[in-house]
Chain A
Amino acid sequence: MEKNIKLLQGNEACVEGALAAGMNFFAGYPITPSTEIAELSAQKLPRIGGRFIQMEDEIAGMAATLGGALTGKKAMTATSGPGFSLKQENLGYGCIAEIPCVVVNVQRGGPSTGLPTSPAQGDIMQAKWGTHGDHPVIALYPNSVQEIYEVTIDAFNNAEKYRTPVILLLDEVIAHMREKVDFDSVKGKEVFDRKKPTCPKDEYLAYENTEDLVPPMADFGSGYRYHVTGLVHDQFGFPSNNSEIADTQIRRLLNKIEKNKKDIIKYEEYKMDDAEVAFVAFGSTSRSAKESVDKLRSEGIKAGLYRPITIWPFADEKVKEISENVKNIIVAEMNLGQYVNEVKRVSSDKCKVDFYGKINGHLITPTELTNFVKEAIR
């Protein structure tokens, strides 16, 4: 049988993954290094009866994406740092109004216009805390073109399953490099569609406190007429100042993620079984870390790599367990210290946690990491 393989750029793989997950609406605004995602969506969507729109800015791109999702579409938008900042208010709207969609952020150097064509990992905390107030977050971060294809499907699945916006983090390197993608790798992978109401129309509670914490969502136009607001609301979706309702509803938003961490959290472990030094790294940095692991092992140092694919929610228990089994953890990120603080928060006192960061627009190389480890474990 002929193999279903193509050479693709990371951003292209993202669109292919989105289409495989059922994307049929895209609204966005161009920005380097994410632009190819919009371009390819514009090219492909009308061919499958889907729709694409270039909005006047990223605020509108996020708003229109949510609007599309409300009519039952699988909607996506893509951007980079400056645009990700602009999307934040409406991203929070998506969280409280529980509107599934995927927001891709191809990270580049910041702050502000920063380094438009260089990679960075400076938006790790923004992905969690960029929009105001306590809110649920799912953020995923693949590290190869093949994995971008697969994880984009996971992003849509999580959005649909948990009725929430999902952030897909990429960085300039993995978004722009070309690697082969085997489309058959996802054969048999489930594509999840949001749960819809089946109750009589006048009994529908769009924000019901259901046992599984994820109330069914009706499409606008389907006959279930309901109200959607960014104000704290009751189970009907109507604004409420009642403190008990506010407490219950906001906690449900967070709990629907917290209680399903097992399903949401994905990671890769490389040579961790007997590791004494563990890297924690993601995205393009994790590729360097992997190479460094091999180099260190060839020199007799028992190194390993823990690579979160799910950046948020944070895998507290897993990282804690690692810290109990290794002597050193090295967190490497293209920023000046973000994820490392999460790692430190849960790590055992017996484990030394060190940080290697870089923000000059260049990748962290395997050699840098190897040298850093040797220094750190001395």
Chain B
Amino acid sequence: MKVSNVVKDNFREDKLPHIWCPGCGHGILMHAIARAVSNKGLDRDKVVVVSGIGCSSRAPGYMNFNTLHTTHGRALAFATGIKMSQPDLHVIVITGDGDAAAIGGNHLIHACRRNIDLTTIVFNNNIYGMTGGQYSPTTPTNDYGTTAPYGNIDKTFDLCDLAKAAGATYVARSTAYHARIIEKLIENGLDNKGFSFIEGISVCPTYYGRKNKKGNAVDMMKSLKEDTIDIRIAKKKPELAEGKMLIGEFHNSEEEEYTARYDKIIDLFEKE
């Protein structure tokens, strides 16, 4: 698919340019979602993109689908209502690390547990971008944020571990650097009939980068490449994985999907 068509087909061009800072990783992840939807040939009238609040959650406004920008942390709860009430819709959720794992953490756990067919992409930039650089549940311990001026004492959260443990049937991680790979992972998530959790590591040069002396946007992108390793390689050569973040597909299982289970209850009475 030609890039120009991806933009024309999937974006509200009159709403661009977006609000994100130069060098922000969010746009790359948003574009990957659009490509994945195009590749899958989904009917755009049947695609709903839901988000919470944050820089990341601004993405749906630019995307030419049924789009819903909800309240902070609640995207998955709104999305659950949409999917449950109208199961033929393809529901994609875009959320941030704060949105998904702090204020929305409970909804994340329960969406995973239900295995409801939502494809969730977390734009994880390890910080609260929109409110100006406060630490989030994924800010590494000892890193700095505007509310962690002496270093973050919290333990950092591995969201993929969380999603898998809570019952998500598809769990994967990649980064804004690995644009083509994450596109493919999102496609797999769309294919999965169940709850798919894809963590897209993003970069926030404006706040996280500056507070933690991570260099400029290009430096931060480079470290997404250098500081990550695919899980398949890591399994074969564990010595290469030292100090690196695992990326790739972590979990893929088949289990009955939530709305399909409810359909069976409805069917009981239709036969009556």
Which of A47, A49, A89, A221 sits near B88, CB closer than 8 Å? A221
Majority secondary structure of chain B interface residues (helix, strand, loop or mixed): helix
With known contacts A90-B71, A221-B48, A223-B45, A63–B81 Cβ distance under 8 A: yes
Chain A nearest Cβ from B12, distance in angstroms? 8
Chain A residue numbers with a CB within 8 Å of B66 are 220-221, 225-226
Chain A nearest Cβ from B201, distance in angstroms? 26
Chain B residue numbers with a CB within 8 Å of A227 are 12, 60-61, 67-69
Bound CA span A89–B45, Å: 29
Contact status B84-A68, CB under 8 Å: yes
Bound CA span A56–B116, Å: 14
A73 at the binding interface (Cβ < 8 Å): yes
Bound CA span A72–B89, Å: 13
A27 at the binding interface (Cβ < 8 Å): yes
Chain A residue numbers with a CB within 8 Å of B202 are none
Which of the 9-residue segments B120-128, B218-226, B247-255, B264-272 touches chain A? Answer: B264-272
Which of the 9-residue segments B1-9, B22-30, B72-80, B138-146 touches chain A? Answer: B72-80
Bound CA span A155–B78, Å: 22
Contact status A51-B61, CB under 8 Å: no
Contact status A60-B68, CB under 8 Å: no
Which of B12, B65, B78, B269 sits near A47, CB closer than 8 Å? B269
Contact status A60-B88, CB under 8 Å: no
Nearest to A70 among chain B residues (CB) is: B82
Which of B74, B81, B84 has the most A CB atoms < 10 Å from its CB?
A: B81
Bound CA span A70–B79, Å: 10
Bound CA span A24–B85, Å: 9
A229 at the binding interface (Cβ < 8 Å): yes
A-B contact pairs, 15 of them (CB 8 A): A25-B85, A46-B262, A51-B266, A56-B106, A60-B106, A67-B84, A70-B82, A71-B89, A220-B68, A223-B45, A225-B45, A227-B12, A227-B61, A228-B68, A229-B61
- Residues of chain B having any CB pair with chain A under 8 Å: 12, 15, 44-46, 48, 50, 60-61, 64-71, 74, 77-86, 88-89, 106-107, 109-110, 262, 265-266, 268-270, 272
